[in-house]
Amino acid sequence: MKEIEIDSLDGLNEVAKAIIEGLDGRNVVALCGSMGAGKTTLISAIMAYLDSADTVTSPTFALVNQYATGNGERVYHFDFYRINRIEEVFDMGYEEYFYSGDLCLIEWPELIEDLLPEEAMVVKIDVLSPTSRRFTIA
């Protein structure tokens, strides 16, 4: 487990690096935090760390966005905030994504907790102030 506290958005590069370097063969990252904690902003920092030229946006209504890293690898960005039934996640074929080996970054994983791979990395975001956050990476 690793904890990183930042006082500004500039510190997100360190967090992104710690997440990517800490994957250790895992490909599913569950980002847990309250509304406005910075989950999508962190995903933008992760994609920047991976040299992606893609614009990161929250897939709130589409449920999933696909991006490419600088070397062409696929990354999937999920936002399960608006799911009403777990069947929606089954219908979208979540297993094909989670078990593809491609990096999967998940917002609101609490809503699909039973479907997450056991080995998924969990990143907890605590809001300390309007500009400060604590990231716990497990």
Please give the tally of structural domains in the chain.
1
With 90 as the cut, is the pLDDT of residue 32 above it? yes
Percent of the chain with pLDDT over 90: 96
pLDDT confidence band for 60 (50 / 70 / 90): confident
- For residues 126 and 133, the answer to whether their CB atoms sit within 8 Å is yes
Q: How many angstroms separate the CA atoms of 110 and 83, rounded?
A: 11
pLDDT in tens, 64-83: 999 999 999 999 999 999 99
| pTM, full prediction | 0.96
Here the CATH number for the domain that contains residue 8 is 3.40.50.300
Window from 37-41, 74-78, 83-87, 104-108 with minimum mean pLDDT: 83-87
Percent of the chain with pLDDT over 70: 100
Bin 54: left if φ > 0, else alpha if -120 < ψ < 50, else beta.
Answer: beta
Structure token digits, residue 100: 């593809």
**DSSP character string of 28-90:** EEEEE--TTSSHHHHHHHHHHHTT--SPP---TTTSEEEEE-TTS-EEEEEE-TT-SSTHHHH
Instruction: Report CA dihedral (98, 56, 32, 6) to the nearest 10 degrees.
Output: 130
pLDDT confidence band for 61 (50 / 70 / 90): confident
pLDDT confidence band for 41 (50 / 70 / 90): very high
Q: Determine the structural domain holding residue 97 and report its residue range.
A: 2-137
Residues β-bridged to residue 106: 30, 78
